Amino acid sequence: MVSQELLELLRCPVCVQEGKGELKLVKDTWLVCETCQRKYPIREDIPVMLIEEGDKWQSVPVDELPVPPPS
């Protein structure tokens, strides 16, 4: 599980340049940007905060995100 302190520090790498880029934890395995809806997986308790990774999942509805995230 990712610590609450880390979750409070993490921001969407795209949106943080223009604003807040705040993320919310979804299904305990995804971080979803509240601004752009990019979705970043958490694999083995490590958030994968690559823009390319967020782009892959941007159009997938939150309720359709796979748990656990694929490798």
> pLDDT tens digits for 7-59?
899 999 999 988 789 999 999 999 999 999 999 999 999 999 999 999 999 99
Look at the domain 4-61 and name its fold. N-terminal domain of TfIIb (2.20.25)
Greatest pairwise CA separation for the chain in angstroms: 30
Tell me how far apart the alpha carbons of residues 30 and 44 are, in angstroms, rounded to a whole number: 12
- Residue 1's identity, in one-letter code, is M
Looking at residue 11, its pLDDT comes to 97
Looking at residue 20, its pLDDT comes to 87
Looking at residue 2, its pLDDT comes to 84
Closest-CA residue to 28 (of 71, 62, 58, 55): 62
Residue 1 has pLDDT above 80, yes or no: no
- Residue 39's identity, in one-letter code, is K
